[in-house]
Amino acid sequence: MIEDARYAAGAALYALRRYQQIQELLRTMACEDKKRESALFKRTIKRIKEQESGSYNLAAMHFHDGENKNPYKDNATYVGPVAVKDSPGRGRGLFLTKAVKAGDLLLCEKAFAYSYLSENLYEGPNSRVTVLYDSDTGLTTVTSEAALLRAVVRKLV
- Mean pLDDT over the full length of the chain: 79
Instruction: Say whether pLDDT at 65 is over 50.
Output: no
In whole angstroms, give the CA distance from residue 141 to residue 143: 6
DSSP 8-state symbol, 144: S
Percent of the chain with pLDDT over 90: 27
In whole angstroms, give the CA distance from residue 18 to residue 44: 9
**pLDDT tens by residue, 3-51:** 677 778 888 998 898 998 988 887 776 555 566 667 888 889 999 999 9
Instruction: Say whether pLDDT at 71 is over 60.
Output: yes
What's the whole-number mean pLDDT along residues 105-113?
85
Vertex 109: Cα angle to 103 and 113 (nearest 5):
130
In whole angstroms, give the CA distance from residue 28 to residue 142: 52
| CA neighbor of 51 nearest in space, from 30, 80, 93 | 80
Q: Give φ, ψ of 79 to 5 degrees.
A: -115, 110
Percent of the chain with pLDDT over 70: 75
